[in-house]
Structure 1
Amino acid sequence: MNKTKVLVVDDSKVQRNHVIELCRQQGVINIESAENGQVALDMLTANQFDLVFIDLEMPVMDGVELVSQIAERKLVGAVIILSSKDPSLILSIGTMAESDGLSVVGTFQKPMKEEDLAISLNRMTNDFVKVSKKIVNEELTKEDLLRAMVNREITLYYQPKLTVKGLLLKGVEALSRWPHPERGMISPVQFIDAAERFGVISQLTEYLFDIALHEKKQWQERGLNFHLSLNLSPLSLADQHLAERIFNQVQRYNIAPKDVVLEVTENALSGEVSKAIQTLATLRLKGFNLAIDDYGTGFANAQQLSRVPSTELKLDRILVDNVSTNPHQQAILKSTVALSKDLQLTTVAEGVEYLDDYKFIYQLDVDLVQGYYFAKPMAPSDLIDWIKHELGEHRKAIQRELSS
């Protein structure tokens, strides 16, 4: 029996009863209801609830104000937003709620469907078992970064990239990690930002590339020849000698440039456009593949895509997460994949954490998939064990889910 405590907020008694009945069918029996936002707010202030269903159109206090109040007062962790209005409006309110710190496990047009509720409850359960740890570090200095590279403290973990159809290992993305001997794990966001501010980002890039290429060479010697994805800072693209130095690095390890994917964010051309295009074009001419990373988080458009000589488009998790339960998001993802196909780009859905999202992506003819549902970033030795012992079993389990 599901012990989740639920509050259903809707001014329509028919709609309240419909959601309550769906919840009972899913084994949720601890359910209360409210006919408007003010009543709901009073109930949430007096009692603890796990999940709130919120209708947007209500008298006294509408759902938009209720969501804002819940987030501001931190009254509940998870919400499901319902409305008979346009899906784009519902999604916008969901985005607002998430930006305010709420877990939005579903945004739906009314009436809600049984399968949508089942997916949302499953997603909420998974979200609740995740532990978010924020590590506060002292301000980094340039000397800290240089010392870390000399001592080889900064290292790389690798996250698999699988074919959507067949779940075959196509490549891995190298992700930087810094387990500081005294400060603990330092966030990549923090030390990469520091490297950019102190003007040592190219030095850090080459340092990390050397680690990754060394690992790839060892994998090749063991008969494992999948591609290697590495991230480039947009600031590095202004360095007119970067392409030549990267090319010399892969030559030293006798690795073909075609087996390396260099990832740049979609705002890569926001700085010195001419120099950035020159660097990217030179890399393509030397045989490297180029991926536009985090697509969907900024303001890239078809013109921007045409200016970057890319071979791959990585669909950010903002387009992927919850797509199975969000019709508006589904339409955006479909059109983005179609555009990618027209531009002859390999598509990669990243940040996939749920089976239902993977099932939707599977139907879209996306090429590759990456995310915690399949594998977390892992150390090189763990990656080998995962390939040997876990990949096959994971593939069989997922294929059983797809056929059921």
Structure 2
Amino acid sequence: MSAADPDPAVIDPASLRVLVVDDMKLMRDMASAMLRAQGIGIVETCDDGATALQALDRLDAASLVCDLMLLDLNMPGMDGIEVLRHLAERSYEGPIALFSAESARVLRTAETLARAHNLNILGFVEKPLTDSAILRLLGKLSGGAARATINADEPLSEAELLDGIRLGQIEIMVQPKVSMTTRQPIGVEALARWRHPQRGVIGAGHFIPLAENGAAAEPLFEAILGQALRAAAHWRAEGLVLQMAVNLSTANLTRLDLPQRIATAVSDHGLKPIDIVLEVTESRLIEDQTAALEVLTRLKLKGFNLAIDDFGTGYSSLEQLQRFPFEEMKIDRQFVGMAAQDQAARAIVSSSVRLARKLGMTTVAEGIESRADWDCAAEQGCDVAQGYFVSAPLKPEALPGWIAAWLTRKD
């Protein structure tokens, strides 16, 4: 997305360039026709992985970007899995959707591999391509990370991020969470964006890792928390009571003064700890468990709600549930998004819900992107839904209008 774009939640399809990589001409032609029918401005096709990499080199040489790559997995010569490895070696940051007729289980494994490569993977699309699948991908592009405008040859620096924080370039979007039984909005999650004057709007996945355990970690958290608390206080003043969820980083969990600092900030904004949910990703808990245990226990004693994020993707999930005082389990989107089609993913969601209930925890189904996802998560007993079917991330000021529209939706 260009720096001139007014809102990262809105992308003009005519401005997008999509690369379709598939060895079958029929599939390439069908995908191209359907993408153009949705208003996509430029659709390019490649019949194998090596040609796709050459196409990316050509675009990079011309200072152009690929806004979305549809990548087939099973191709002669260089297959899609090998392409993913080459993309990771290039530190490729463009959005990728896997596009294949392979089984859902194979697709899920490939998606997991892509995420392990730290690639910007949007998920997978089963063949044959449908209009609804294209719309879901466009929704992810619109509300998720910004278009791939970052030049891999000019990586972001910590100094650049510190300047961005100081100049007020970090802003939050909020993604609603709703009850699956009453459909009532119950809270939002604060998601960071960096509105860079030269690079455009940068998604959190590009700069949050840069801040971890560095000089930018604390000021970045303060910037995000401050905006989140101001938004929550503003809504409350208008009679809108919603919990605000904010993510904690590894650096946060080693700061023993964090509980009092957050408590003071919450009080200064006229809010209470119960109004705030602090989310922690499983993998971050293994960095320094002693410090994390103290910090999270003190936060709990002060009345804050604690959530374990991306449940099921870490290394010792059950141990984390036993050791830390969580009351909310966020089931990872890779399981929720697969559950309607894949028996193994559905079993993972179901067993996670049962475990959470026995521990007295609320469950949040992340990645609800369709009615089928919603129905499946509800059938498994999930308490709360979050995802693009409910809403893409919004600017805080747009939330009241979204609530009014959501409460009148019939789907």
Alignment TM-score > 0.5, same fold = yes
Give 1:94's aligned residue.
Answer: 107
Could you tell me which of 247, 259, 271 is aligned with 2:287? 271
Residue number among 240, 244, 249 corresponding to 2:260 in the alignment: 244
* 1:122–1:366 Cα change, 3 Å: farther
Map 1:308-323; keep pairs closer than 5 Å: 308-323=324-339
Structure 2 CA distance for partners of 1:152 and 1:335, relative to 1, 3 Å: same
Contact map agreement 2:23 2:75 (CA 8 A) in 1: no
Percent of residue pairs bearing the same amino acid type: 31
Once the 2 structures are TM-superposed, how far is the Cα of residue 152 of structure 1 from its aligned partner? Answer: 1.4
Between 97-106 and 152-161, report the one with greater CA deviation: 97-106
Of 219-228 and 265-274, deviating more is 265-274
User: Could you say if the C-alpha distance between residues 209 and 97 of structure 1 is closer, same or farther in structure 2, counting changes exceeding 3 Å?
Assistant: closer
Query: Is the 8 Å Cα contact of residues 234 and 269 (structure 1) preserved in structure 2?
Result: yes
Q: CA deviation at 1:310?
A: 0.6
For residue 179 of structure 1, report the CA deviation from its aligned partner: 1.0
Asked if 1:299 is matched to 2:315, the reply is yes
Counterpart-to-counterpart distance in 2, 1:68 and 1:365: 45
User: 1:203 is matched with which residue?
Assistant: 219
Instruction: Say whether residues 1:383 and 2:399 are aligned partners.
Output: yes
Instruction: State which of 271, 280, 296 in structure 1 corresponds to 2:296.
Output: 280
Shift of 1:73: 8.4
- Structure-1 separation of matches of 2:23 and 2:341: 29
Q: Distance in 2 between matches of 1:70 and 1:387?
A: 44
Aligned to 1:143: 159
Matched, 1:71 2:80: yes
**Secondary structure of the structure 2 residue equivalent to 1:49:** helix
For the 8 Å contact 2:274–2:303, the answer to whether it is kept is yes
Name the structure 2 match of 1:49.
Answer: 27
CA distance in 1, matches of 2:248, 2:377: 27
Decide whether the 8 Å contact of 2:311 with 2:317 is kept in 1. no
1:337-361 CA deviation, whole Å, 9 max, x = no partner?
Answer: 1011111111000111111111111
CA distance in 2 between counterparts of 1:344 and 1:67 reads 50
- Bigger drift between 147-156 and 209-218 goes to 147-156
* Higher CA-based Rg: 1
SS of 1:134's partner is coil
CA deviations 1:169-206 (Å, max 9, x no partner) are 10010111111122211231222222225333122112
Q: Deviations over 1:148-174 (max 9, x none)?
A: 223211111111000011210100101
Would you say the 8 A contact 2:74–2:100 is kept in 1?
no
Runs of 5+ unmatched residues, structure 2 = 1-21, 32-72, 84-96, 115-120, 142-146
CA shift for structure 1 position 380: 1.3
* TM-score, scaled relative to structure 2: 0.71
The match for 2:231 among 215, 224, 236 is 215
Question: How far did 1:210 drift?
Answer: 1.2
Code of the residue aligned with 2:406 in structure 1: it is L
SS in 2 for 1:348: strand
Alignment of 1:183-194 (within 5 A): 183-194=199-210
Q: Distance between the aligned counterparts of 1:264 and 1:255, measured in 2?
A: 21
**Aligned equivalents of 1:103, 1:260: Cα separation in 2:** 30
1:23 match? none
**What amino acid maps onto 1:71 in structure 2?**
G
1:80 to 71, 85, 101: 101
Residue deviations 1:36-90 (CA, integer Å, cap 9, x gap): xxxxxxxx746332599xxxxxxxxxxx97699652588x9632335xxxxxxx7
Identify which of 176, 184, 187 aligns with 2:192: 176
Query: 1:332 offset after TM fit, Å?
Result: 1.3
Tell me the distance in 1 between the aligned counterparts of 2:290 and 2:222: 22
Q: Does the CA-based 8 Å contact 1:313-1:340 persist in structure 2? A: yes
Residue 393 of structure 1 pairs with residue 402 of structure 2: no
Change (3 A) 1:197 1:245: closer
Larger relative contact order, structure 1 or 2 (CA cutoff 8 Å, min sep 6): 2
Report the Cα offset of residue 374 of structure 1.
1.1
1:103 and 1:171 mapped to 2: Cα distance?
25
Amino acid at match of 2:200: G
The code of the aligned residue for 1:383 comes to L
Residues 314, 347 of structure 1: 8 Å contact kept = yes
2:375 — aligned with what?
A: 359
* Residues 234, 265 of structure 1: 8 Å contact kept: no
Residue identity in the other structure for 2:225: F
Q: Distance in 2 between matches of 1:225 and 1:370?
A: 18
Alpha carbons of structure 1 residues 141 and 312: separation in structure 2 relative to 1, 3 Å? same
Matched, 1:230 2:243: no
Contact 1:105 1:322 (C-alpha < 8 Å) held by counterparts? no
Task: Give, as a single letter, the amino acid of the residue that structure 2 aligns with 1:232.
Answer: L
Q: For structure 1, which segment, 203-212 or 136-145, has the greater mean C-alpha deviation from structure 2 after superposition?
A: 136-145
Structure 1 equivalent of residue 148 of structure 2: 134
Q: TM-score, normalised by structure 1?
A: 0.72
CA contact (8 A) 2:282 2:317 kept: no
Answering whether residue 170 of structure 2 is matched by residue 154 of structure 1, we say yes
Which whole-Å CA distance do the structure 2 matches of 1:157 and 1:77 have between them?
27
Query: Following the alignment from structure 1 to structure 2, what is the Cα–Cα distance between the partners of residues 77 and 145?
Result: 31
- Cα distance in 2 for partners of 1:337, 1:71 equals 34
Give CA-to-partner distance per residue, 1:79-119, whole Å, 9 cap, x none.
2335xxxxxxx72x23344446897545xxxxxxxxxx99x
| Separation (CA, whole Å) in 2 of partners of 1:375 and 1:220 | 21
In 2, Cα distance between equivalents of 1:289 and 1:190: 27
In structure 2, the partner of 1:290 is 306
